[in-house]
Structure formats: structure tokens, C-alpha cells
Amino acid sequence: MKFGGTSVADLERIHNVARHVKREHDAGHEVAVVVSAMAGKTNELVSWVNQMPTVTGSNAPFFDAREYDSIVASGEQVTSGLLAIALQSMGIDARSWLGWQIPLQTNNAHGAARIEDIDGGEIIERMGAGQVAVVAGFQGIAPDNRIATLGRGGSDTSAVALAAGIKADRCDIYTDVDGVYTTDPRVAPSAQRLDRVSFEEMLEMASLGAKVLQVRSVELAMVHGVRLFVRSSFDDPDATDSAAGANPPGTLICDEDEIVEQQIVTGIAYAKDEAQISLRRVADKPGVAAAVFSPLAEAHVNVDMIVQNVSEDGSVTDMTFTVPDGDLGKAKKVLEAAQGDIGYEVVQSDPGMVKVSVIGIGMRSHAGVASTAFQALADKGVNIRAITTSEIKISILIDSDYAELAVRTLHSAYGLDKEAA
Amino acid sequence: MKFGGTSVADLERIHNVARHVKREHDAGHEVAVVVSAMAGKTNELVSWVNQMPTVTGSNAPFFDAREYDSIVASGEQVTSGLLAIALQSMGIDARSWLGWQIPLQTNNAHGAARIEDIDGGEIIERMGAGQVAVVAGFQGIAPDNRIATLGRGGSDTSAVALAAGIKADRCDIYTDVDGVYTTDPRVAPSAQRLDRVSFEEMLEMASLGAKVLQVRSVELAMVHGVRLFVRSSFDDPDATDSAAGANPPGTLICDEDEIVEQQIVTGIAYAKDEAQISLRRVADKPGVAAAVFSPLAEAHVNVDMIVQNVSEDGSVTDMTFTVPDGDLGKAKKVLEAAQGDIGYEVVQSDPGMVKVSVIGIGMRSHAGVASTAFQALADKGVNIRAITTSEIKISILIDSDYAELAVRTLHSAYGLDKEAA
């Protein structure tokens, strides 16, 4: 069971989390719980770190990631202890575990460390004896014997890694929504909660803006075959009796083999605040893509969609890609500086784009999925700027004015709308 | 160098602490720094722990000291990291050390653990290489591989233990006062700062209410011969250049051999809110003192002064002792329940007493010290309730109405008043 920052925001909510845990414990399950810091706490600690150089009057930003980790990891240390006490006061044997106590070993990349190994032995033993393990998320111990954090949102990753390390049957992610939807319900009120989603689809959805789960945690779950169940921590903790086999509302993220009736399209995702950049009349020769994207990567500009068409005569081509709106200025400077190396003629750019994506494992074996999208958008007069596709996804770049219309249109076109009650 | 909670209360003060450290570092000293949590932070964390059982609706107080320790120790974890960053941003090589990283090993008495061992090896090595060690105070690691805290005020003890462990020349305690005074300056404005005080005298002063240093830390310093220097963290960090040998204002607490011109009386301490209890016509036989004080100890009543006079005829005697005002009710109940075992006739009690103490190593070799006190108090019409003495201390119990008058009178009587400017 994993609970995020809003689920442990204050003592009352921590107590509510304890009731969720008690329900599962009372149903006869062996339970480990991973907790985030109280909502806002991590931001406060990070802001203290960031304010330090300002206080000293230095201009250059200063940052020792090892100290940052030690400071910031204290937030989860507090909530894990408080939840253990809350459980104990309900008569449940429980203890907190810090990253270095498990140990959850990471590499040396302080501030955004990767998990190298997790020793679940002692926790498995104690869970077998009826003790609930309350694990501080987001943290581990690096080879230098110092605390390492896994980067923002790392508690999801902690939970999945722990679930793999203790060979858990399932990893329940309690969050502030009650599952994964066919699209954003704020945009399309007809969106429905999905009962099951494959790891591959969830990866595309998570990275495309349906921010229920961290992408890294889904990747890890897929690699280790950890079944994830996304559900709401704001449910009545006592309402669902898992001993009785009742299914609480939520979405199971699992291997596609477990999904019996696979829909062709599972959901519609979108990513706002994209900017489009087009290089016109780029020399169509080996190494030109590297000449474009290497300097952008060095400048930490995150390039998303990339479209390059086959040139007519094999000499020059056009290249289009997207970057976050906020990086557009930086990207243009980098490209202008590299104009000689790349050899393009003109750079054009347009901020305020949105990328809408149609996602579904079923489209691998079904023809005509893309044309349905193009026709539906054309019928509404939505102009398509660029298209990219993968095996299970079609992404379409459009003007952001049409974002909501496009999402709703595609949602209907693939039959995802909830039936009227 | 040790800095308490008010000295690291916010980022600006942490930066100020860094300047103090820089001054010593620049003067060529190898420096280790022990820090407390930001002022108020420990109380906040403790209050969260204490609120947990209330939230659950339980009546019995619930408390797992191991979880308490993990939660509360996070405060020092934050300040140690922030100070390390502040030092680094000034160009000083520094790193934070948590209790378990050193390791500072404690016993298993979570919540009020005692230090068993401290391995200064790696810190000594790094200090030799020019790195400042910033150590989270108040914490260590217990044999169960979990964080243990040393009890409130434990950061002083951490600092002294570390100073002993790394064989430091001196342990500088930066606090919110600029040293140890002959008495409380709020009571006697003529009080003077002492340049030097012996460990023994400081122990008597600390336990008697001159709350500059934790008693445990002074004991530890005496045992290991760690010289303590008490000074103010609110001094201008750049004002005193220790390289030039200038003496900053403060008090050195050291072995009496180091104190060349020993005064007969060093200071006047007082402890308020004492209650006097007298048992009348107690059987004067072996075991009666145990019969009185064992049940009080079991009820956690802290007994202070104990006075038992030689009985006239060897059959019955009177016994007087003091307890904290707040424990008086509990103490009386315990004594009434034990009346049969003890065999006293009447119990009398009086709250609102104050204990005034005259302290000085010099009185060991000087006669007439006590009579000076009695005469001075008699001259002012202060009635003495009870008297106890040790080798270096005379304690007098009086009505609290006369507390300030008695302190000022004794301060003058022993020639401790500051000369008029």
C-alpha cells in the first residue's frame, strides 16, 4: 500500500491511512506500507536548500545533492514514524523502516538516484510474523553510506521496488483520484474509469499527462511484473471489505495477458504547453539529426515529438519537433548558434500547441485506427499540424485553442463515452 | 563548536553560525560542529507524536520510543544539512554526519539513550584533510539499528561526547547567553560573568537552576576532561580573531587545576517551586529512610534536599525533604498510603519554597563560609527553613517571597558584586 503526500497531509489523514491499513491487515493480508512526506513538507525543505546561496550573497546556484538528500528525506522519516504509532495505537504491530535500515540500495546519483537493490528479507520475515512494515518512501542509501533520494515522485518508485523486493501479490497506490480514466474528466465529463490498463498503455498515458503515476514506477512495475492497483485514499476506509472479495473502485495496471476484453483504444491523453519548431531546408544527409538534437540535449531542452519527412529529391528536407513552451527561447538560441553545423535555411517556431494522443494496445492488430482520428478531427474543422505514431499510440499536434474539442471528439469517436444513466 | 536551537532558528541564523565556523576554520583550527534542531521544531514533532493517541480515541497514552526517536531526530538532520550547504557556499569543504553515520552508538534506552561509544576515526581523518564535520546533535544509533535520541537537551551531550571522541582541545558551546554568571543577572544586576568555573562547581550550578548547560554534558566533560567554553552565538561572528589570540567573552569550564586564583565562593544559584514535606515523629531505626524514599522513587517523585536530624533520645526523629511543587499532591498520597510501613505520626507540607545555594570549590579549605551566609540572611530578617551542605555547596530553604532578596544578599556577602563603573 502506498500513500502520497495529500493522503498523509495531517494527523487526521494519517489516522485515516491507518484505518485503510487496518482493514487490509484485519482481512488477513500481510501488509507493507510506503508513505510520502506530508503534503507541502518536501517543498518547504527544498525551498530552504534553495534559499541558502541567496542568503550567502553568492550569485551562482549552490547545491550539494548529498546534503539535499539528507535534508529532504527527513519528511518521509516523520510520516513513517507517525503512521507506525497510529497503527500501534489501534493494536496493530507495526514499525517504521528508513531507506538505510532496509537497506534499499541506490546508485550514487544523489538527488535522482536509481534503485540498485532492495533486501526484503527482514521485512518479509516480520510481515510473516504479523508486523506491518511502514517504509519511508523516496529514499535509499547510496554506496557512500549517505541518504539518497529518488527524485520527485520517487515514493511511487519506492513502493513498486519494495513490492518487487518482497514479492508482493499487488501494489496498491492510494492517491487523490479513484483510478485511471479514459481521458481527463475535467475536459470530457463522459470519461470513464478503466477497470484494467496494460503497463504499456499506462506508460504512454503517464508520460502524456495523465499524471496518476510516475512514469518510472510504471516502468519498474512492468519490468518486475508488479501488478499496480490505483485507488482513492479518500474512500471510506471501512467501506470495502477485501476479505469478502468486494472490489473497491480503482484501476488495475497489469500485464496485457490479464486483460481479457481488450479495447482497441483505451484512452485519450493530452499534453499542453508544447511549442513547435520547424527547420526548413535541412541538408538530408547522415548525422544531421544528431547535429540538431545533441546541442539541444546538452542545453537540457526536452524534445518530444520529432517528425522528419522523406525528402522529394534526397537533398533537403524539413524537420519538425516540439519542446516545452518554456524552453522555446533557449532552444531557438541553441539552434541559431548551431546553424552552421546543421545547415538549415530557416527556423520557424510556434508556441501554444497541444499534443493529443490516442492510446491502445489493441491498435497493433487493428487497421484503420488512425484514419478514424483524422476523419473525426476533420469533421470538426481541427487542423492537424503534425502526426507521429508508435505501435500503441497516435499523437497529433494541434493549436491549443482546439485542445478540449479534440479530446472530446476523439473520446467519442472511439466509443469511450460513458453511457447516459 | 555546538549551536543550540535558537542559534539555528532560521536560515539567516544558520548563515550566521556558518560565519562563526568560518572564522575558526580560517584561523587554522580543525573544526567539528554539532547542531540542534531549529528552535520550536523539536516541540512540533513531539506534539505530533503526543497527538496521535488522541486522534485514535484511545484514553491510555501510547508511545513507541523507537518511532518517537526516528521522528524527532529528523529536526537535527535538517539543520546539519543546511549548515553544511551554508559552509560549502562560503567555499569551505564541509559535510553533515547523522548519528548512525559516525556511528555514535547508544544503549537501547530509546527516548533518553546514553552514549556507549563514538567512533571519531573517519571524522578525525577528514578534519585533518580540511573538511568541517557538521554533526546532527541529540542522536545516535542503538543496538537494534534504529535511531536513538539522547533526551531533551541532548545536543550538549552529543557535543561533549564528540569532543572526547575526536580528542578536541576544547568544546565551545554557543548559546543565547555569553557565559556563566555569579548568579542570575535578572535577580541581581550586579552579577558578573565568570572567566573560569570548575566542572564540580558547574555541576552544582547547572542542577540548581543556572540552566546554561545540561547537567549530563557537564558530567561527561568532567569524566573525559573536555574543556568547555560557553559563549554567545549572537556575538558578531567576525569580531573576535582567535588566530590573533584574542579572548572572546565567555566562560571556560575546566579542571580546577586550571583555575589559578580560586575564589572561595563562585556563585549563588537558586531553584524555585520547591515544596517542603516534614514527617514528624518518625521511628529512628534502620530502614526508615528507605521506607520513605523508595515508594516516592517508584512514583517518579524527584526528591531534592533531605534533612534528618539526630534524634534526642534515639527513638523518634523528624525528617524533612523537598519535592517539586507540582509533585506535592502525588507525594502526599504516596506517603499517606505508606504511613503504616514508615511509622510516622504527622505529615506536614508547605509549597512555595525556594532553595538558595552558595557554591564554591574554595569552601573546602576555608572555614566560616556557612556562617557568613546565615548571618547575612539573619541581618535581612530572612527565616531559614532547612539547611543542607556538601563539600562545595551550602543550600538553604526559605520562603519564596524572600528569594530575590536572599540571592542579592548572599551575592554581596561573598563579595561577588561587580564594581560600579
| B88-117 confidence digits (pLDDT tens) | 999 999 999 999 999 999 999 999 999 999
Q: How would you label B44-56 residue by residue, b for 16+ Cβ within 10 Å and e otherwise? A: ebeebbebbbebb
Of A51, A73, A85, which has the smallest distance from its Cβ to B49's Cβ? Answer: A85
Chain B positions contacting chain A at CB under 8 Å are 11-12, 14-15, 18, 45, 48-49, 51-53, 55-56, 58, 62-64, 66-68, 70-71, 73-75, 77-78, 80-82, 84-86, 88-90, 95-96, 98, 100-101, 145-147
Q: Are B397 and B322 in contact (CB under 8 A)?
A: yes
Question: Chain B residue closest to A19 (CA)?
Answer: B56
Contacts of B85 in chain A (CB under 8 A): 49, 52, 62-64, 67-68
Q: Does the pLDDT at position A311 exceed 80?
A: no
Q: Which of A62-66, B68-72, B333-337 has the lowest mean pLDDT?
A: A62-66
Higher pLDDT, B260 or B24: B24
The pLDDT value given to residue B414? 95
Bridge-partner residues for A324, per DSSP?
A274
Q: Does the pLDDT at position A320 exceed 70?
A: yes
**Helix runs in B90-148, H state only:** 121-128
The pLDDT value given to residue A420? 63
State the complex-level ipTM: 0.81
Residue ranges of E strands in A111-215: 115-118, 132-136, 139-141, 147-149, 171-175, 196-198
Q: How confident is the model at residue A309 (pLDDT cuts 50, 70, 90)?
A: confident
Of A15, A45, A52, which has the smallest distance from its Cβ to B78's Cβ? Answer: A45
Q: How confident is the model at residue A59 (pLDDT cuts 50, 70, 90)?
A: low
- Are residues A55 and B86, on separate chains, in Cβ contact within 8 Å? yes
The pLDDT value given to residue A312? 74
Q: What is the mean pLDDT of residues A69-90?
A: 96
Q: Which residues 6+ apart lie within 8 Å of A290 measured at CB?
A: none
The pLDDT value given to residue A308? 84
The pLDDT value given to residue B54? 54
pLDDT in tens, B148-207: 999 866 899 999 999 999 999 999 999 888 899 999 999 999 999 999 999 999 998 876
The pLDDT value given to residue B239? 74
The pLDDT value given to residue A358? 95
- Are residues B56 and A82, on separate chains, in Cβ contact within 8 Å? no
Which of A46, A56, A119 to mutate to probe the B interface, most B CBs <10 Å?
A56
Contacts of B147 in chain A (CB under 8 A): 98
The pLDDT value given to residue B32? 98
- Are residues B80 and A70, on separate chains, in Cβ contact within 8 Å? yes
Of B52, B73, B80, which has the smallest distance from its Cβ to A82's Cβ? Answer: B52
Q: How confident is the model at residue B231 (pLDDT cuts 50, 70, 90)?
A: very high
Alpha-carbon distance of B132 to A343, in angstroms, equals 52
Contacts of A146 in chain B (CB under 8 A): 101
Contacts of B49 in chain A (CB under 8 A): 81-82, 85
Q: Does the pLDDT at position A71 exceed 80?
A: yes
Q: How confident is the model at residue A246 (pLDDT cuts 50, 70, 90)?
A: low
Higher pLDDT, A258 or B63: A258
Q: Are B155 and B138 in contact (CB under 8 A)?
A: yes
Q: Does the pLDDT at position B242 exceed 60?
A: no
Q: From the CA of A233, how many Å to the nearest CA of chain B? A: 18
Q: From the CA of A98, how many Å to the nearest CA of chain B? A: 9
The pLDDT value given to residue A205? 86
The pLDDT value given to residue A260? 78
Q: What is the mean pLDDT of residues A85-93?
A: 93
The pLDDT value given to residue A56? 53
- Are residues B85 and A67, on separate chains, in Cβ contact within 8 Å? yes
pTM: 0.83
Q: What CATH superfamily is the domain B2-257?
A: Acetylglutamate kinase-like (3.40.1160.10)
Of B15, B58, B96, which has the smallest distance from its Cβ to A55's Cβ? Answer: B15
Cα distances (Å, whole numbers) of residue B394 to A57, A188, A419, B389, B391: 54, 83, 90, 4, 8
Cis? peptide before B103, omega within 30° of 0: yes
Check the CA dihedral A405-A411-A413-A419 and report its sign: negative
Of B63, B84, B145, which has the smallest distance from its Cβ to A67's Cβ? Answer: B84
Which of B48, B93, B132, B135 to mutate to probe the A interface, most A CBs <10 Å?
B48
- Are residues A49 and B81, on separate chains, in Cβ contact within 8 Å? yes
Contacts of A48 in chain B (CB under 8 A): 11, 78, 82
- Mean pLDDT value across chain B: 90
Cis? peptide before A103, omega within 30° of 0: yes
Question: Chain B residue closest to A53 (CA)?
Answer: B89
pLDDT in tens, A270-293: 999 999 999 999 888 888 888 999
Cα distances (Å, whole numbers) of residue B266 to A56, A177, B175, B374: 42, 68, 21, 17
Question: Chain A to chain B, count of Cβ pairs less than 8 Å apart?
Answer: 123
The pLDDT value given to residue A92? 94
Q: What is the mean pLDDT of residues B327-346?
A: 93
Q: How confident is the model at residue B309 (pLDDT cuts 50, 70, 90)?
A: confident
The pLDDT value given to residue A31? 97
The pLDDT value given to residue B30? 97
Q: Does the pLDDT at position B38 exceed 80?
A: yes
Q: Does the pLDDT at position A134 exceed 60?
A: yes
Q: From the CA of B141, how many Å to the nearest CA of chain A? A: 11
Question: Chain A residue closest to B145 (CA)?
Answer: A101
Q: How far is CA B289 from the centre of its chain?
A: 28
Question: Chain B residue closest to A68 (CA)?
Answer: B81
Chain A positions contacting chain B at CB under 8 Å are 11-12, 14-15, 18, 45, 48-49, 51-53, 55-56, 58, 62-64, 66-68, 70-71, 73-75, 77-78, 80-82, 84-86, 88-90, 95-96, 98, 100-101, 145-147
Q: What is the CATH number of domain A267-413?
A: 3.30.2130.10
pLDDT in tens, B258-300: 987 778 899 999 999 999 999 999 888 888 888 999 999 999 8
Would you kindly state where each structural domain of chain A is located, as residue ranges? 2-257, 267-413
Of A45, A62, A73, which has the smallest distance from its Cβ to B88's Cβ? Answer: A62
The pLDDT value given to residue A278? 93
Higher pLDDT, B58 or A292: A292
Identical fold for domains A2-257 and A267-413, yes or no, is: no
Cα distances (Å, whole numbers) of residue A369 to A183, A201, A382, A406, B251: 17, 16, 18, 16, 83
Q: Are A360 and A392 in contact (CB under 8 A)?
A: yes
The pLDDT value given to residue A168? 96
Q: What is the mean pLDDT of residues A226-250?
A: 78
